[in-house]
Amino acid sequence: MQKVLGGFVRTFYFDEESNADVIDGVMQIEYDLEQFRVYPITVVVLEHKDNSSEIGDAIVGHTQKLSGYGGDLIVRAYFSAFAHKIQKYIVAYEPFARSSIWGIRNPAFFSADGLQLDLTEYWRKRMRSFIKLLHYAAQREIRHGSLSSPSSYVTCRGDQRIINMGRVYHDKYEAGKDMEDLMHLISRLFPDSSTKYEWVSLKNLLISKTMSDPATVQNFLRIALGHPILLDTV
């Protein structure tokens, strides 16, 4: 049994006759004194591969390692298991809903002042969290591998968050790739960002050759988070 939410997973259920790859379900947690409690989950069915078991374990393990540093950005992964009826491995997450690209684009990226040089408070805090998360992940050679894809972002706890952290763990780690992917997605979602000097300077800094590996750059966080566009000007 796997330990989750202070107890142990006794059983879990989802509609295994569904052909969907994302399905809502429930898990039953056993606590001391034979106390049980049922929690909702969202199940992601992994593609059938020879190493699906390792992929599932990597997603859960890497997500848990990073949760303390990017908990506001990452969907919690509870456990991975083999679903016998469909003969595939699954990852059980806290409940989430798939997002549309329009959901990712809200709220606005730039403030509504006349010059629109500043990020909105939401995106300033979000970018600071992204930088911290990717810095911590790089120190542990944990890579997402698909941050440029809108399908990597879902709605959870009332906001946009990331799933599948560590899903490409078996691929060769490539320093700076996740940051490049994130910048690429933002450029697609907010095309006018390329005309904002302060934002372009931050983007160029983060994907520069000098800063490409956050794990090896001395004072990386101090330099990146000290950029003017990320500072609270209120």
User: What residue segments make up the domains of the chain, in order of their start?
Assistant: 3-97, 100-230
Res 24 pLDDT > 90: yes
Q: Is 127 left (phi over 0), alpha (psi -120 to 50) or beta?
A: alpha
Greater model confidence, 112 or 92: 92
pTM for this structure?
0.88
Does the domain made of 3-97 have the CATH classification 3.30.70? no
| pLDDT greater at residue 166 or residue 123 | 123
Q: Could you say which DSSP state residue 230 is in?
A: G
According to the model, what pLDDT value does residue 117 have? 63
Beta bridge partners of 26: 13, 40
Instruction: Pick 61 or 67 by higher pLDDT.
Output: 61
Structure confidence at residue 234 (pLDDT): 46
Q: Per residue in 28-39, pLDDT tens?
A: 999 887 789 999
